[in-house]
């Protein structure tokens, strides 16, 4: 890039299109962390809250952990080892390296130690792998954060993921689900913790830039089970729209926040008869999968 930073005299490393600004490394980092802080400011979340950050080792969770470590004072990490052979070993390796670099305590939940592995569950249940994986991860992360007295669980969905999931939610007619498209969801049920999505206002492209210019390692391999062809198509289409109209995704996710406030219906939850955690049915999705 032959341009100069819009804020100083240094060479620019990135053009942030929606802002129409060139940034050098230092100012891009400032912008990136600022977008994460924005979520905390929007919901007036103090930086000393006890936060559990979920790290898989992939680009989103790794960049999230780096950004949070810059201003959160009470941070611990949690990693779920799904038992997917070499892929899981590499994910754990990267996560350990990241936590060591950042000086944050890492907690590892090994699915194997509670008697399961993802490949094993997939053999038993004829479900889409990503769906099973999502249920297992959501359940174990919440359980861990709750049982260890964390106030907030941080997960790394980026702006592109959030927009794609919203389209999928509308497509599947699960409109109540739109209630949850927010950067922060306060604790609203027993045996849960509040949820924060620090990357809500950051795009995949910006996340990749952040990792590249800072030389931060992350797992580049895709999960061997990922096969969500339709979701990938939605994401590709959204990227085309973003190129055509820079700022499109940002407007889209900002509207989702407003839309989520309009969904007024209460989702009635019960306690799972097997484990006692919140569930829409008598037995929760996790207990149904592992039984």
- Where do contacts with Zn ion occur on this chain (CB under 5 A)? 5, 7-8, 10, 24, 27, 272, 274-275, 284, 287
109 close to 77: Cβ distance less than 8 angstroms: no
H-helix or E-strand containing 108? Answer: strand 105-110
182 close to 43: Cβ distance less than 8 angstroms: no
- How many Å apart are CA 16 and CA 276, to the nearest integer? 46
Smallest gap from residue 25 Cβ to Zn ion (A): 8
Burial group, residue 108, by CB count within 10 angstroms (0-12, 13-18, 19+): middle
Smallest gap from residue 192 Cβ to Zn ion (A): 13
Residue 10 Rama label (left phi>0; alpha psi -120 to 50; beta):
beta
- How many Å apart are CA 199 and CA 211, to the nearest integer? 14
Smallest gap from residue 208 Cβ to Zn ion (A): 19
> 165 or 274: whose CB is closer to Zn ion?
274
> 26 or 76: whose CB is closer to Zn ion?
26
Smallest gap from residue 16 Cβ to Zn ion (A): 12
> 226 or 281: whose CB is closer to Zn ion?
281
* Residue whose entry in the numeric block shows the structure tokens 């037995």: 283
> 45 or 136: whose CB is closer to Zn ion?
136
164 close to 213: Cβ distance less than 8 angstroms: no
276 close to 284: Cβ distance less than 8 angstroms: no
* SS3 call for 185: strand
Smallest gap from residue 9 Cβ to Zn ion (A): 8
Query: What does the angle CA 261 – CA 46 – CA 257 come to, to the nearest 5 degrees?
Result: 15
Smallest gap from residue 27 Cβ to Zn ion (A): 4
Smallest gap from residue 109 Cβ to Zn ion (A): 16
> 92 or 272: whose CB is closer to Zn ion?
272
Nearest to 82 by CA among 239, 219, 261: 219
> 184 or 277: whose CB is closer to Zn ion?
277
> 24 or 78: whose CB is closer to Zn ion?
24
């Amino acid at each position: 890039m032959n341009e100069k930073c819009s804020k100083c005299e240094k060479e620019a490393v990135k053009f942030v299109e929606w802002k129409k600004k060139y940034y050098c490394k230092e100012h891009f980092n400032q912008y990136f962390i600022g977008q994460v802080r924005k979520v905390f400011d929007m919901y007036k979340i103090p930086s000393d809250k006890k936060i559990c950050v979920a790290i898989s080792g992939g680009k989103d969770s790794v960049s999230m952990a780096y950004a949070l470590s810059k201003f959160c004072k009470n941070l611990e990490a949690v990693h779920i080892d799904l038992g997917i052979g070499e892929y899981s070993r590499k994910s754990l390796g990267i996560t350990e390296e990241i936590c060591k670099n950042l000086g944050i305590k890492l907690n590892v939940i090994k699915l194997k130690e509670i008697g399961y592995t993802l490949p094993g569950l997939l053999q038993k249940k004829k479900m889409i792998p990503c769906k099973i994986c999502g249920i297992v991860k959501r359940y174990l992360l919440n359980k861990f954060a709750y049982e260890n007295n964390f106030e907030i669980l941080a997960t790394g969905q980026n702006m592109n993921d959030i927009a794609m999931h919203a389209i999928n939610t509308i497509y599947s007619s699960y409109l109540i689900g739109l209630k949850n498209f927010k950067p922060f969801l306060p604790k609203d049920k027993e045996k849960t913790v509040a949820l924060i999505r620090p990357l809500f206002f950051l795009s995949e492209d910006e996340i990749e830039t952040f990792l590249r210019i800072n030389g931060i390692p992350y797992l580049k391999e895709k999960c061997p089970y990922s096969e969500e062809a339709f979701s990938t198509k939605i994401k590709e289409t959204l990227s085309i729209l973003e190129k055509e109209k820079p700022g499109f995704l940002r407007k889209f996710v900002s509207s989702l926040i407003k839309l989520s406030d309009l969904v007024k219906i209460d989702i009635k939850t019960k306690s799972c008869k097997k484990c006692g955690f919140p569930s829409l049915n008598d037995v929760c999705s996790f207990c149904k999968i592992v039984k």
